[in-house]
Amino acid sequence: MNILKGSNPGTYVVSKNHELIPKTDQLENMPYRLVTVQERDLWNEYVHSCKMYDFYHTWYYHSLEKSGEPVLFVYEEQNCFIVFPLLKRSINKTEYSDFTSVYGYAGPISNLDFNQMEQKTMEGFKQAFLMFLGQEKNVSVFCRLHPIINHDILVEKFGSLVENGKTVVIDLTNSLEEQRSKYRRQFRSKIRQLREKGFYLKNAESDEEVKAFVKVYNENMARVKAESYYYFNESYFFNMLNSADFESSVLLLYCGDEITSGAFVTFSNNIMQFHLAATNNKYLHEGPMKLLIDEATVVGRERSMDYLHLGGGVGGNEDSLFEFKAGFSETILNFKTWRFVSNPVVYNQLVRARWGNRTIESDFFPLYRELSNF
């Protein structure tokens, strides 16, 4: 972005880098604007100007979504802006819609730290967002919030925050020696054994290596009987690797010339995500993922990342997967979702239309979409 000189200061908003993003006519008439998926550059200008963000917020990651129409809600005032990427979904046979978030961790982000943001700014965002929901004939909003970004302070003003479990992050700002001292003792021993056996890390450099990882990944998902949305084809990985919106790599742990485990990782702002990972079924007894995670932290340090986010258990549960990840770090974060009903009357009508007068005990949200074609 270039700073535009000699212009009306009231028509621009300042980014975290003290550069100016032009406002539009839309903002002259209402306290917010929408950036559509057709406006790639503007979408990314906002996101990349934020204090904290992740690849989940980028235009490209949203452009992959088929479950809804990507939109970026923008609220601006003076030298501050707050943006909130969402997926808009129509509700069948009605004039209404709802919003959800992408697979992963999204939520609102800003060019300012939410901890230092004035209350009146957050209240202004709330009122503008509620106005937006009303004009969109919105019924509900579901969003998986980012455990590292402190936007809970903003979202809790609406209420309806739900604790969804824990996630694990490795702090890469600590020394490597201190980081490894936090590993579970058995993990340190296993990592040493794997190195002695000649296991080694390699960055996937060829299409064949990426395809081999995808095969290992999907075979792993089949073994654990994962839900369909955990499966990804080759095109997904190649498209992600070629994205200009963020950097990513496929890290492979080899034994000889055979892949024992691998991970698709992303690098965005100062956050490294252990996005998708799997172990070759043939090497499950060796536990190579332990060494892969340790080697990934070294890669993150080389890329000047502050965090390696491992994520949590399946569906946010504190299950065996979570316990495995917790063996690498004492830094455990809260994973929350936002489940906001903006139109309670219509929401209840939709639930009754779906379930009748039955009492439904389910954690699913919104309830009218569970096991349905809405």
pLDDT tens-place string over residues 170-229: 999 999 999 999 999 999 999 999 999 999 999 999 999 999 999 999 999 999 888 887
Go through 113-147 and write b for each residue having 16 or more CB atoms within 10 A of its CB, e for each that does not.
ebeebeeebbebbeebbeebbeebbbbbbbbbbbb
Same fold, 9-159 and 167-334: yes
Phi, psi of 43, deg, nearest 5: -55, -50
- CATH number for the domain running over 167-334: 3.40.630.30
The pLDDT value recorded for residue 208 is: 97
52-62 mean pLDDT: 97
pLDDT digits (tens, 9 = 90+) for 245-284: 999 999 999 999 999 999 999 999 999 999 999 999 999 9
Confidence of residue 29 (pLDDT cuts 50, 70, 90): low
List the structure tokens of 126.
């709330």
Q: Is the peptide bond before 366 cis (omega within 30 degrees of 0)?
A: yes
List the structure tokens of 46.
């906002």
31-53 mean pLDDT: 96
Q: Which fold has domain 9-159?
A: Aminopeptidase (3.40.630)
List the structure tokens of 119.
């209350």
38-52 mean pLDDT: 97
CA distance 333 to 96: 35
H or E element that contains 169: strand 161-171
Domain spans of the chain, in order of start: 9-159, 167-334
Share of the chain above pLDDT 70, in %: 91
pLDDT digits (tens, 9 = 90+) for 298-345: 999 999 999 999 999 887 788 999 999 999 999 999 999 999 999 999
Beta strands (DSSP E) in 37-96 are 69-77, 80-90
pTM beyond 0.85: the answer is: yes
